Amino acid sequence: MPHLSFQYSAGLEARADPGALAATLRDAMLATGLFPLGGIRVRGFRADVAVIADGGAHDFVDMELRIGAGRDEAAKAAAAETIYAAAENWLRPRIGDGGFALSLELREIDAALSIKRFNTIRDYLEKAGTS
């Protein structure tokens, strides 16, 4: 149940494709070896209103990764680094010299407070042979 959401400044769209970034992040999540394909979700949200630092034309991508409990600290840190590095490596050549900020926060979900009864994606992937 790894869900990665990212907010990005509206100005980013002139320099980089958020959909392609989402695909890159999904691939990085899968590459960690910690997350099953059927559980991965990546969502991007454009921030139409943002004032950053001095109010200049600065852009950002702020990522939040929510994962289920049960992984040790080293595994979580390695996964976070893999995902951050993938975003950084993909964004760096597209951003240029303008002001930019990239961040990632990993949060563990409390299983007792997480309800997931209706989910047919894993069944679909198993039937399709891509799980």
Mean pLDDT for the stretch of residues 111-123: 76
| Backbone dihedral angles phi then psi of residue 117, each to the nearest 5 degrees | -95, -30
Entry pTM:
0.86
Asked whether the beta carbons of 28 and 86 are under 8 A apart, the reply is: yes
Q: What is the mean pLDDT of the chain?
A: 92
Domains of the chain: 3-128 (3.30.429.10)
- Tokens representing 56? 């200049």
What does the alpha-carbon distance between residue 21 and residue 6 come to, in Å, rounded to a whole number? 10
Q: Which pLDDT score is estimated for 113?
A: 77
pLDDT in tens, 55-106: 888 999 999 999 988 899 999 999 999 999 999 999 999 998 888 999 999 9
Name which of 5-9, 39-43, 77-81, 117-121 the model is least confident about.
117-121
Residue of 77, 73, 105 lying closest to 4 (CA atoms): 105
What does the alpha-carbon distance between residue 76 and residue 10 come to, in Å, rounded to a whole number? 30
